[in-house]
Amino acid sequence: MPVSLTNSKLIHETLKECDIRLVSALPETWLVHLIRLTDEDPDMTLVRLAKEEEAVGISAGAHFAGVKSAMLMQNHGFLASINGIVSFAHLYKIPLLMLISYRGTFGERDPWQTQGGNVTEPLLRALGIPYFVLDQVETVKKRIRQAQTLAESSLQPVAVLLTRDLMWEE
Amino acid sequence: MLRLDCLRSVYSELENCLVVTIMGAVAAELHSLGHRSNFFYLQHAMGLASSTGLGLALCLPERTVIVFDGDGSLLMNLGSLSTMARYRPRNLVHVVFDNESLLSVGGFPTATSTGTDLEGIARAAGIPRAVSVRCVENFKTALTDAVHGSELTTIIAKVEATGPSGYITDLSLLENRFQFRRHIQSLRKS
């Protein structure tokens, strides 16, 4: 499977450096290594979800408990979480660090991913969610750290879009 | 059985727990009995109270977390039962007030009014202990047992579809949220 193990390790390492202790996730191809690395990490609790919106509640609970958390999901999972984001994270000012695999854009071969690719950034903008499109390996650590810093200081959801260039080795 | 009587019967039991409620009648009624800094009322995001309780319970294993859920909310996030069952925190008590109705929007019947069995769903999802209660005495016993027990428990409390005249309290959402987190921080220091 040509999902980048090297870059998955880099992201996982960065999450550790950010003191992320709880990660909720719903599997998708690009995230398989990242989810496995989280699962094998004794310092992290992995919560495998039935649906991504649950992660908003779980991260809110973690935040109340003083534990830093992250959400791993595909962009379609972000679409499925929007009510939770608006009527919990935004309404109650809950910081969320959302790592979202950005499917359905340039280079996408799966037809079923393409509509979600079209609407991901417009929806993030409409929701007022700060986001960064992560496609350069050199900036991974810095941008994820910055995203977490902003989420914690602004008490709001912040998204990092994980692109094909980063997650996939052709 | 009235939800307010259920809440009143266990109010003193809630003192040392972290409590998360759903929106609507449950929040307003618990608040009317006397707000405490360990109560968080999730006034929207239907379905996510149980997920919030799960996040709290996993991060604070030494604290008892009680979620006051409802049939309408749980039906919106049935997957939460399977996620809770998967991790089955022993310090989580999941109460579902089932009035077979979406009361706060005008009393539309939910699927539990036509036979959907939430206790059965909880058990089949893998919740280690699922019980249904229909009188206040049994409710109190079930909740007290669950709080002092060591198994993830879902309690389905069949209640009447009645509630308070209004749902807005004088506690702002953000005040409640910051107070709740600060309360937990103070527990960690003590």
Does residue B189 surpass a pLDDT of 80?
no
**B178 CA to chain A: closest CA distance, Å?**
9
Distance of alpha carbon B65 from alpha carbon B143, whole angstroms: 12
**To probe the interface with A, which of B64, B66, B83 has the most A CB atoms within 10 Å?**
B83
Mean pLDDT of A129-138: 98
Of A45, A63, A87, the CB nearest to B58: A45
Query: Do the beta carbons of residue B25 and residue B159 sit within 8 Å?
Result: no
Closest CB to B42: pick one of A49, A53, A88.
A88
Residue B63 has pLDDT above 80, yes or no: yes
Q: Which residue of B has its CA nearest to A63?
A: B181
Confidence bin at B26 (pLDDT 50/70/90):
very high
Chain B: closest CA distance from residue A137 (Å): 31
What number is the average pLDDT over the span A58-62? 98
Give the DSSP H or E segment for B124: helix B118-125
Residue B118 has pLDDT above 80, yes or no: yes
Position A164 scores a pLDDT of: 97
Task: Calculate mean pLDDT across residues A87-103.
Answer: 98
Q: What is the pLDDT of residue B104?
A: 84
How far is residue B113's CA from residue A13's CA, in Å, rounded to a whole number? Answer: 50
Of B56, B86, B173, the CB nearest to A61: B56
Mean pLDDT of B23-49: 97
Partners of B131 in the β-ladder:
B155
Q: How many Cβ atoms from other residues are within 10 Å of residue A118's Cβ?
A: 11
pLDDT at B188: 80
Q: Looking at chain B, which residue has its C-alpha nearest residue A69? A: B55
pLDDT exceeds cutoff 70 at B36: yes
- CB proximity B125 to A under 8 Å: no
Arithmetic mean of pLDDT, A26-30: 94
Other Cβ atoms within 10 Å of A142 Cβ, number: 13
Please give, rounded to a whole number of angstroms, the shortest distance from the CA of B53 to a CA of chain A. Answer: 6
Q: How many helices (H) and strands (E) does chain A have?
A: 8, 6
Question: What confidence tier does A12 reach under pLDDT thresholds 50, 70, 90?
Answer: very high
User: H or E element: which one contains B132?
Assistant: strand B129-133
- The DSSP 8-state label assigned to residue A150 in this structure reads H
Share of chain A above pLDDT 70, in %: 99
Q: Which of A78, A91, A162, A86 is nearest to A120 (CA)?
A: A78
- The continuous run of DSSP H or E covering B120 comes out as helix B118-125
Q: How far is B80 from chain A (nearest CA, A)?
A: 7
- Using a CB-CB cut-off of 8 Å, the residues of chain B touching A53 are 47-48, 51, 77
pLDDT of residue B190: 67
- pLDDT score of A128: 98
Q: How confident is the model at residue A1 (pLDDT cuts 50, 70, 90)?
A: low
B66-97: string of b/e by CB count within 10 Å (b at 16+)?
bbbbbbbbbbbbbbbbbbbbebbbebbbbbbb
The pTM score is: 0.97
Q: Is the pLDDT of residue A23 over 80?
A: yes
Among chain B residues, CA nearest to A44: B59
Sign of CA dihedral B74, B105, B17, B10: negative
Given a cut of 90, is residue B105 above it in pLDDT? no
Host H or E run for residue B73? helix B71-76
Mean pLDDT, range A63-80, rounded to an integer: 98
Q: Region A30-55: what's the mean pLDDT?
A: 98
| Contact yes or no for B59 and A62 at CB 8 A | yes
Provide the token pair at B72.
Answer: 């309408």
Chain A touched by B189 (CB under 8 Å)? no
